[in-house]
Amino acid sequence: MRKRPLYALAATMTAVGGATFAYASLVERNMFTLRRLSVPVLEPDAEPLRILHLSDLHMMPDQHRKQAWVAALAGTDPDLVVVTGDNMASPDAVPGVLRALEPLLPVPGAFVFGSNDYRGPVWKNPLRYVLPIENEYVQGVELPTETLRQALTDAGWADLNNARTVLKAGGRSIELAGVDDPHVDRDDYPSVAGPATPGADLHLGVTHTPASRVLDAMAADGFALLLAGHTHGGQVCIPGYGALTTNCDLPHSMAKGLHRWPGSDSWLHVSAGLGTHPTAPIRFACRPEASILTLIPR
């Protein structure tokens, strides 16, 4: 008779755990959300500028709902689109990525790649993200990186993988500097480093992984707004506490959203992204998202 309460507790916990997993894997990971934020980085009396920030699509060929949702974001009428990497999760993903982005390609745009634009995902022990477990970094099959790069640059979007450029958007001159993914040591910011160019209306730094070594350097060069992804906002969060991991050296409190970058005048926006790793297709207390950043005068 004494064991019955323990059996009941175990059964209850099992039921709650099962319901939570079902919600995280079947419901929340498909609850695509558009965040709207104002960022005070423009000169006084400047007209607002709208940036659509997309990240971490981790697209699979059959994810038609996600593709349609992203495509519909063309209706937000952005002045500039910035994509911060990890677009693919399959060697067959490029058509799906382009179906999602096609209505946005006529808008001025720029992109960097993440590790999952080069190599496909493989299963990893989830505990390595929250415990000090040393594992060799392993990735899967080669992905059609150059096919995606060619499609985006043919549309006129700027490739910012270890590159720097100036483009026109919303009637403004915008200087952008970007790096390839620091998470797999592909970044080479010194090759594009240097003080922000006087005369540009806005200076943007772009990276997939919000690694402090890159963000510190961009902020020191005077880039007013830094854009990143990679963290998935923690992907599985604890209500009232937040992210358990950022999968990099970014503080957990900055796992997603808009923050002032410490020790600088720069703002950092980290997108929680729209996808999940295919071997861990869950989200909890961290909806998949895209963001409209309305830049306004300081």
What is the per-residue DSSP string for 100-143? HHGGGTTS-EEEE--GGGTB------GGGGTS---------SB-
| Arithmetic mean of pLDDT, 182-193 | 98
Q: Does residue 133 register a pLDDT over 80? A: no
Residue 36's closest CA among 68, 63, 84, 73?
Answer: 73
What is residue 130's predicted lDDT score, i.e. its pLDDT? Answer: 54
* Alpha-helix residue ranges (DSSP H) falling in 208-277: 212-220
Asked if 214 and 177 count as a contact pair (C-beta separation under 8 A), the reply is no
- In the chain, what are the domains? 31-297 (3.60.21.10)
Mean pLDDT of the chain: 90
pLDDT band at 27 (very low <50, low <70, confident <90, very high): confident
What token pair was written down for 287? 């909806």
Average pLDDT (48-70) is: 97
In percent, the amount of the chain with pLDDT more than 90 equals: 81
- pTM, two decimals, is 0.90
* Residue-wise pLDDT tens digits, 78-87: 999 999 999 9
CB atoms near residue 263 (< 10 Å): 9
pLDDT in tens, 273-293: 999 988 788 999 999 999 999
C-alpha closest to that of 104 among 63, 70, 60: 70
Give the tens place of pLDDT for each residue, 107-117. Answer: 999 999 999 99
Q: What is the pLDDT of residue 135?
A: 58
Which of 212, 28, 230, 27 is CA-nearest to residue 129?
230
